[in-house]
Amino acid sequence: MNTQYSRDNKFGDMARRLSSLYKEGVADLEEAQGAIYSELRRSGDRYTDAEVLARGGMKKVSRVFDTKTGRQVAMAELRANAPAELYEPFLREARLTALLDHPNIISVHDIGLSPDGLPFFTMDLKRGDSLADVLKKNRVSQITLLEIFVKLCDAISYAHSQKVMHLDLKPDNIQIGRFGEVFICDWGLGKVIGSDESEGKEFDEILFNPDLLNNMTLSGELKGTPGYMAPEQFQKNGAKTFQTDIYALGCILYAILTQQPPLKGSPEEIQELTLTGKIVSPTSAFPKKNITKGLNAVVMKALALKPVNRYGSVAALRDDVKSYLSGFSTTAENAGFIKEASLFYKRNRAACLVALLAVTIIVVTTGLFIGELQNSIVEIRRSNELAETKRHEAEVASKQYRDELTRNMRLMGSLSGNLKAESYELSRTFIYSDPVKAVELSIQRLELLASRDPSANVGSQIGYARFIMQDFATANEYFDTDKKIHADLYPISLRFEAVKTNEWLSIEQLAELMGNLKKQEFRRKPLMEKMLVFDYAVREDKTGYEQVVEAVLSGWNQRWTQGRFEYDPRKASLLLRGGQLKEFAIISEDTSGESPLRFLNIKSLDARETGLHDLNQIKDLPLETLDIRRTKVSDLRPINHFPSLRTLIVGRDQFASGRLAGLPKTLKVSVRD
C-alpha cells in the first residue's frame, strides 16, 4: 500500500514539473514572438466595445475598437429589422466610398457581414460637427467657411475625375473636424457614370420609404434632399450629370453666405420653385448681410435652371471662389473696369500709395523749381535733374499699375506667349472639358487683341470660332474678308448658312457637315472633334446622335467605306465592322486624345474584324462587354482603364493563356471562335 502511494506521488510530481516546463516554454515563445502577435493570437472578435453614435431609420453608426489595428473606428451597419433588399444598396455605398481615395472623402477600411448575416463597413472615426451644425452655431468666419467650401470642391472634383457623382450633397453630409478637416460622407445615392440607374419598382418602394438608409424624408421616386436637389432630379427622365452636383454645391454656398437654405417650404413648394428656377439671390433675400456681388454671381450661376448654363466643371466653380479669396474678380460677375481697378487697389494698396506720392512730389517740386527759375541757372539744372529722377520713378510705378490692370482686364485669362495672333489660335487653346467657355473666351481675347493691335490678322481665327459655334452668318463675314487661311471652310459655311433654320443644325445636317469636312485635308480632323464636343454640350435633344458620331469616325478613317455601324440605344450596344476602321481616337496636341464614342451610351461594344489595335483609343468608355476577336489588339494592359468592364471576348489562340491569367479576377474572359 505504501509502495503504491509512493509511486503515485512520484508520477504526480513529474506531471507538475512537465506542466511547469510547458507554461515556461509558452511564455518564452510569446516573449520571443512579441506582444502584438500574442494579442492577435488570443483575440476573438475583431470589433469590440461598440458604442452607438447615431441612429437613422434602418441604419446606425457606432464607435468600435478594432483589435487588429488597435484603434477606434466608426462602424456603419444595418439594424436587425432592416429588410434584405437594403443589403445590396448599403454595401454598394461602402464599395463606392472605398473607391474614392481623397483627403476630404471619408476612408472605408473594412466591409463584411456580422455573425447574424447583417452587412457592415468600418471607416475613419472623425470627431467634429456637420457643416449644418457649424452654420447653425454661426461662430465661424465667412473666410473660413469659404476655405472649407474650396476643400469640398476639391473632393467632388476628384470624384468627378473618377466618373462618380454624389447626388446628395448637403450640409448634413459634410463633416468638419476639430482641426479644420473636411470630409464628405453618405455616398448612398452616388452614381458611377455609365452605370445602370434603374433599380426596379420593388426596390424603389423600399429604398425610398421615409428615414431609411440615408435619413431621407421623402417618399415616392425622388432621390436626394429637397432644397439641395437640381431640377433634373425632380424630373422623371432627367439626365443627371456633373452639373447636378454643381447645383447642390451652389445651394451649399448659398447657405454658407446666408446661414439659410436657398429654398424653404413644404416638399411640394420646394419642388415647384426648383423646377421654375424661382430662387431669390442672396443679395436680394438678405440685403443686410453685405454679400459681395462676386459671390452672389457665383451662387446664381451654379443654381442656373439649365445645366448648360451652370459651371462647366467643379474646378471652374472652385477657381471662382479662390479668385474671390485672393482678391480677384470672379468670371461669373463679368466685372467692369471700375471694379477691376478697385480690386487692384485693394491688392496693391502700398504700391498705389507710393505711386500717388511720387506723382504728388513731381507736381509740387516741379512747381517750386519753376518758381525759382529766375534765381539761378544752376538751380534750374538741379531742379530739372531732380524732376527727371522723380518722373522716372513715377513711370516705373505707373507701368506696374498699367501692366497689372491689363492682366485683370483679360478676363483672368492665362494665355502663353506674346500678344500675337498665333497665341490665340483656337486649335491651340480649345478646352475639351468646357468647350462653350473655351470658344467664348477665345473670341473675347481675339477681339481684344484686334482692338489693341489693328495690324494683328485675327479675323480668320474669329471666323473659325464662329464656325464651331454654328454661327455661319458671322463666320462668313470674317471668311469673306480673309479668304486665304480658311478658304476651304468658306464655301461650306455659306452652304450651311443657307440651310440652317434654327439655332442649331439638325442632327442630319450636322452629320452632313461632317461629311463635307471629311473631303478636306487632314488638318480638319481636329475641327470635326471640336464641333462635335461643342454641339454635344449645347444640344438638349440628342436623339439620333449616333449619326454625328459615325460621321466623325468616317471622317477620321476615310478608307472605311464598306464597314458597318449599328447602334441600338435601347440595348446600349454598338456593332462595328471593317478592317479600315483604325482611328478610334487621334492623339495630337490639337485633339483631346479620346474617342468620339464617348458621346454615346455604350455598354456593349462588338469591334470584331475592325482595325482596332490599341485599347487606349477607347479607354474610359463605360463598357460592360467588349468583343475584340480578329482585331490587331496585342496589349491587354489598358484593360485597367475600363472600370465597368465585366466580360472580355477574345478569339482562340489570340492571346497566350499566361497573358489572360494576368487580367483582373473580377473580369470574365470568354474565348470563342
Q: What is the pLDDT of residues 621-635, one digit of tens each?
A: 999 999 999 999 999
Answer yes or no: do 665 and 575 share one domain: yes
203 lies in some domain = yes
Q: What pLDDT, on the 0 to 100 scale, is given for residue 565?
A: 96
What average pLDDT score do residues 445-467 get? Answer: 81
Q: What pLDDT, on the 0 to 100 scale, is given for residue 148?
A: 94
Q: Which of 262, 265, 269 is nearest to 248 (CA)?
A: 262
Check pLDDT > 60 for residue 266. Answer: yes
Q: What pLDDT, on the 0 to 100 scale, is given for residue 604?
A: 96
Q: What pLDDT, on the 0 to 100 scale, is given for residue 349?
A: 64
Check pLDDT > 50 for residue 601. Answer: yes
Answer yes or no: do 259 and 133 share one domain: yes
Distance CA(530)–CA(429), nearest Å, equals 11
Q: State which of 334, 359, 388 marks the end of a domain.
A: 334
Report whether 669 contacts 661 (CB < 8 A). no
Residue ranges making up the domain that contains 208: 128-334
| Between 47 and 372, residue with greater pLDDT | 47
Q: Which of 210, 206, 197, 168 is nearest to 86 (CA)?
A: 206
518 lies in some domain = no
Distance CA(278)–CA(270), nearest Å, equals 10
Answer yes or no: do 170 and 306 share one domain: yes
Q: What pLDDT, on the 0 to 100 scale, is given for residue 372?
A: 65
Check pLDDT > 90 for residue 4. Answer: no
Q: What is the pLDDT of residues 576-588, one digit of tens each?
A: 999 999 999 988 7
Per-residue pLDDT band at 351 (split at 50, 70, 90) = low
What would the grid cell of residue 214 be? Answer: 440615408
66 lies in some domain = yes
Per-residue pLDDT band at 215 (split at 50, 70, 90) = very low
Answer yes or no: do 159 and 78 share one domain: no
Report whether 440 contacts 431 (CB < 8 A). no
Report whether 34 contacts 14 (CB < 8 A). no
Q: What is the pLDDT of residues 394-411, one digit of tens each?
A: 565 555 544 444 443 343
**CATH number, domain containing residue 230:** 1.10.510.10
Answer yes or no: do 134 and 283 share one domain: yes
Answer yes or no: do 138 and 91 share one domain: no
Q: What pLDDT, on the 0 to 100 scale, is given for residue 595?
A: 92
Distance CA(564)–CA(162), nearest Å, equals 32
Q: State which of 409, 433, 468 marks the end of a domain.
A: 409
- Give the helix ranges, DSSP H, for 373-452: 377-409, 426-429, 435-452
Check pLDDT > 60 for residue 37. Answer: no
Distance CA(435)–CA(413), nearest Å, equals 15
Q: State which of 334, 357, 388 marks the end of a domain.
A: 334
Per-residue pLDDT band at 153 (split at 50, 70, 90) = very high
The DSSP bridge pattern shows strands 174-177 and 564-568 to be unpaired
486 lies in some domain = no
pTM, entire model:
0.46
Q: Is 649 helix (H, G, I), strand (E, B) or coil?
A: strand
Average pLDDT, the chain: 80
Q: How many helices (H) and strands (E) does the chain have?
A: 24, 16
Answer yes or no: do 197 and 308 share one domain: yes
Answer yes or no: do 325 and 368 share one domain: no
Answer yes or no: do 193 and 213 share one domain: yes
Q: What pLDDT, on the 0 to 100 scale, is given for residue 443?
A: 85
270 lies in some domain = yes
The residue with cell 474617342 is 595
581 lies in some domain = yes
Answer yes or no: do 295 and 400 share one domain: no
What's the structural domain count of the chain? 5
- Give the helix ranges, DSSP H, for 453-538: 459-468, 472-481, 489-499, 507-518, 525-538
Answer yes or no: do 176 and 318 share one domain: yes
Distance CA(578)–CA(562), nearest Å, equals 7
Q: What pLDDT, on the 0 to 100 scale, is given for residue 115?
A: 83
Answer yes or no: do 85 and 209 share one domain: no
610 lies in some domain = yes
Q: How far is CA 66 from CA 45, 69, 78, 125, in A?
A: 9, 6, 19, 11
Cβ neighbours, 10 Å, residue 546: 22
430 lies in some domain = no
Q: What pLDDT, on the 0 to 100 scale, is given for residue 405?
A: 40
The residue with cell 471694379 is 339
